[in-house]
């Protein structure tokens, strides 16, 4: 991937706070990352680590209230999306940034035909006529591998299977040829064979259309298969960021290492129990002042209680946020 | 859908026959005597002869059978005669009111316009107000508008019409003198001025009825909108770059209308049923008033026929609501 070249998306120091009845929740704390054109960035982390919230906030999809973006910049080709007008934001959504959600069963509107839902962004963003939008819709459905596309435009979502619906969702997200596609656990709700099909489909589409993809997932196997770069999130922060080979071959952050250990091995003697990371992820009621992973960390030191480690480059495009690895003596 | 409708219509026949039997038996077994309003000076044997003249001497099953024949065969034939000038039903005995000795259906036909004007207008007004209010309350949940709407609908729902009716009469008819307190049924609309008079006399009863209906439907609409506003497809629509207006008025509204339209359709028979209390308060002599006076006078053919017409309408509009549901929601399949 092009290193140090043009960035299609750059996120700087993003902070998101949820104002709830029980007080504030600091869901995203000082998150920065960037995305090169055509790159696939895998985002991993436990539930509640802030992955989805970060990505949804990029195009203003978080309900506000309760969510509030307190600080930061989201630069899409240099334009700060946090400052743009609502009208401009609507152009970006679906037009320049596509979004595929987790659950295809509920993400499509049940009372409109697939053709209608697919034509909507085309007519809105590209100003197509009904006829042109229909032709393009057929093309898109064929692109995502739905057979007999012309006839299926008249069908309603409930007439499609889960995997087919996710293909429709992908077709909608791709409709206006976005620069960035954000896929929020697009295969989590699907069974394994369908997952493989969707993965393959998105890889093909990237090769054909050349857009950058942000792929949010729990599944490290998926990441290993498709990502160019991996971002590991924990407690609303980026704890490690590196090219995919580095993450799997030379993990620096104890959380990343723990995550990799939880992947069961299919060779050798079978372990008596599956590996787990003991403890619970933190609920951040204030901005972190200490390492948020310290309670679950084997290498906890005095410094970890005093100071929140910042993300630091350790060479080779590898960034890590841990006091222990600063000293250059990774355990 | 057509097969479904036909099947349902066929099933409606035994349902209605059974309903007819129940209505007949209930009224038959209830205490009461059509002669109770006849002065005591009339000797008992004369009263007995009058009872026999009304057909009360026949056994119960014969009377039920005759009523069914009259209702389902002679009355429709008579209607056909009136429409096309034929004489199929000539000389056949129709369902006759014991009070006025004129055919029940003719009296009902006289009363229906008043009821439809007042109750029907109230229903239309209520829907026109309730749906926008419900949509906006849900979209701005817990806003001032929503809180005020909740309060007003709660009041509207819980205050009975015999209170709100009298209240509006005191305020608008007695104190302000804007509207007449009594609805004049004989008033005919011929020109603009008489139309204004009609409008003026309708406003108060419509207001009282619409308050109740609006309260129900707007609550329902609000709940349905709230259900749908949280659905995943709303987020998808926003992620596609659709404007708020499209998201709410197209994507959410279309889904939210499904249960509301059903409730509205199921409420239509109640329009024909009239509003017994409101009609009494404003002296609108519509169907509700007809029913209550018929009950007081033990006019069994009238009560039977009216109740049965309501039953027919309820069965028909249930079917109508089901068909509508199938049209509005593509997930529903009846075959």
Number of domains in chain B: 1
Q: In chain A, what residues touch B239 (CB-CB under 8 Å)?
A: 59, 61, 93-94, 98-99, 101, 173
Q: What is the mean pLDDT of chain B?
A: 88
Alpha-carbon distance of B271 to B123, in angstroms, equals: 8
Does any domain span residue B79? no
- Dump pLDDT digits (tens) for A16-70: 999 888 888 888 888 999 999 889 999 998 888 888 899 999 988 888 778 888 8
ipTM over the 0.95 cut-off: no
Torsion angle defined by CA atoms of residues B23, B24, B25 and B31, in that order, rounded to the nearest 10 degrees: 100
What pLDDT does residue A172 have? 92
Res B54 pLDDT > 90: no
Determine the distance in angstroms separating the CA of B234 from the nearest CA of chain A, rounded to an integer: 8
- Give the range of the structural domain holding residue B123, as residue numbers without chain letter: 110-332
Could you tell me the CATH number of the domain that includes residue B226? Answer: 1.10.3720.10
Using CA coordinates, name the residue in chain B closest to A157.
B331
Domain boundaries, chain A: 9-96+176-264+274-326
- Dump pLDDT digits (tens) for B119-163: 899 999 999 999 999 999 999 999 999 999 999 999 998 998 889
Does any domain span residue B300? yes
Mean pLDDT throughout B285-310? 89
Q: What is the mean pLDDT of chain A?
A: 86
Instruction: Tell me if B331 and A125 make a contact (CB, 8 A cut-off).
Output: no
pTM of the model: 0.84
Task: Return the CATH number of the domain spanning residue range A9-96+176-264+274-326.
Answer: 3.40.50.300
Determine the distance in angstroms separating the CA of B134 from the nearest CA of chain A, rounded to an integer: 20
Say whether A233 sits in a helix, a strand or coil: strand
Instruction: Tell me if A92 and B258 make a contact (CB, 8 A cut-off).
Output: no
How many C-alpha atoms does A41 have within 13 Å on its Cβ side? 25
Res B256 pLDDT > 70: yes
Q: In chain A, what residues touch B235 (CB-CB under 8 Å)?
A: 61, 101, 107
What pLDDT does residue A109 have? 94
Nearest to B232 among A90, A103, A111 (CB): A103
What is the greatest pairwise CA distance in chain B?
86
Using the 8-state DSSP alphabet, how is residue A144 labeled?
A: T
Instruction: Tell me if A172 and B242 make a contact (CB, 8 A cut-off).
Output: no
What pLDDT does residue B58 have? 83
Mean pLDDT throughout A90-112? 91
Tokens 């080779």: give the residue: A316
Does any domain span residue B230? yes
Instruction: Tell me if B254 and A111 make a contact (CB, 8 A cut-off).
Output: yes
Q: How confident is the model at residue A331 (pLDDT cuts 50, 70, 90)?
A: very low
Does any domain span residue B215? yes
Beta bridge partners of A181: A98, A213
Residue A123, class by beta-carbon neighbours within 10 Å (0-12 exposed, 13-18 middle, 19+ buried)? middle
Q: In chain A, what residues touch B329 (CB-CB under 8 Å)?
A: 110-111
What pLDDT does residue A4 have? 56
Interchain contact A110–B (C-beta under 8 A): yes
Q: How confident is the model at residue A326 (pLDDT cuts 50, 70, 90)?
A: low
């Amino acid at each position: 991937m092009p290193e140090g070249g043009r960035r299609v998306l750059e996120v700087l120091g993003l902070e998101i706070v949820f104002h709830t009845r029980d007080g504030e929740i600091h869901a995203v704390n000082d998150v920065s990352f960037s995305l090169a054109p055509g790159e696939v960035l895998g985002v991993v982390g436990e539930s509640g680590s802030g992955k989805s919230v970060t990505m949804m906030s990029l195009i203003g999809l978080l309900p506000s209230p309760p969510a509030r973006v307190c600080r930061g910049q989201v630069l899409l080709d240099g334009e700060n999306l946090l400052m743009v007008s609502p009208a401009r934001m609507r152009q970006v959504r679906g037009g320049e940034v596509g979004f595929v959600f987790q659950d295809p069963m509920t993400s499509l509107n049940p009372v409109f035909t697939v053709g209608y839902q697919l034509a909507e962004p085309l007519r809105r963003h590209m100003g197509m006529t009904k006829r042109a939008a229909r032709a393009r819709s057929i093309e898109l459905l064929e692109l995502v591998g739905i057979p007999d596309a012309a006839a299926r435009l008249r069908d309603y979502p409930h007439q499609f299977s889960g995997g087919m619906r996710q293909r429709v969702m992908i077709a909608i997200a791709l409709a206006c040829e976005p620069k960035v596609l954000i896929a929020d656990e697009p295969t989590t709700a699907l069974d394994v064979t369908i997952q493989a099909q969707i993965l393959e489909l998105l890889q093909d589409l990237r090769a054909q259309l050349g857009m950058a993809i942000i792929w949010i997932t729990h599944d490290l196997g998926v990441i290993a298969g498709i990502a160019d770069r991996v971002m590991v999130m924990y407690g609303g922060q980026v704890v490690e960021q590196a090219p995919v080979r580095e993450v799997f071959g030379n993990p620096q952050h104890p959380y990343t290492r723990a995550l990799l250990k939880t992947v069961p091995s299919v060779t050798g003697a079978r372990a008596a129990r599956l590996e787990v990371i003991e403890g619970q992820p933190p609920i951040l009621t204030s901005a972190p002042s200490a390492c948020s992973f310290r309670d679950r960390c084997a290498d906890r030191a005095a410094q970890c209680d005093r100071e929140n480690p910042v993300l630091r480059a350790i060479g080779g495009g590898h960034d890590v946020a841990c006091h222990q690895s600063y000293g250059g003596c990774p355990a | 859908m057509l097969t479904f409708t036909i099947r349902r219509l066929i099933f409606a026949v035994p349902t209605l026959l059974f309903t007819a039997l129940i209505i007949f038996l209930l009224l038959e077994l209830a205490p009461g005597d059509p002669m109770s309003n006849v002065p005591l000076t009339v000797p008992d044997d004369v009263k007995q002869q009058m009872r026999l003249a009304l057909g009360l001497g026949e056994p119960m099953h014969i009377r039920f059978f005759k009523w069914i024949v009259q209702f389902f065969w002679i009355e429709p034939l008579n209607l056909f005669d009136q429409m096309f000038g034929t004489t199929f039903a000539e000389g056949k005995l129709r369902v006759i009111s014991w009070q006025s000795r004129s055919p029940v259906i003719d009296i009902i036909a006289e009363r229906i316009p008043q009821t439809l004007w007042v109750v029907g207008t109230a229903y239309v007004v209520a829907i026109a107000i309730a749906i926008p209010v419900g949509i906006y309350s849900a979209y701005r949940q817990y806003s001032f508008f929503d809180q005020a709407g909740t309060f007003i609908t709660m009041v509207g729902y819980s205050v009975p019409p015999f209170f709100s009716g009298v209240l509006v009469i005191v305020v608008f008819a007695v104190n302000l003198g804007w509207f007449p307190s009594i609805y004049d049924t004989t008033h005919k609309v011929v020109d603009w001025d008489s139309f204004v008079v009609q409008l003026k006399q309708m406003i108060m009863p419509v207001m009282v009825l619409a308050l109740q209906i609006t309260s129900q439907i707007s609550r329902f609409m609000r709940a349905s909108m709230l259900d749908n506003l949280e659905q995943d497809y709303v987020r998808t629509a926003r992620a596609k770059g659709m404007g708020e207006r499209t998201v709410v008025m197209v994507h959410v509204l279309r889904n939210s209308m499904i249960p509301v339209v059903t409730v509205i359709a199921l409420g239509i028979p109640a329009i024909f049923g009239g509003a017994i209390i409101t009609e009494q308060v404003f002296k609108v002599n519509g169907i509700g008033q007809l029913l209550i006076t018929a009950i007081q006078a033990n006019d069994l053919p009238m009560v039977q026929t009216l109740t049965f017409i309501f039953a027919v309408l309820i069965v028909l509009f249930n079917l109508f609501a089901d068909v509508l549901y199938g049209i509005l929601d593509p997930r529903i399949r009846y075959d």
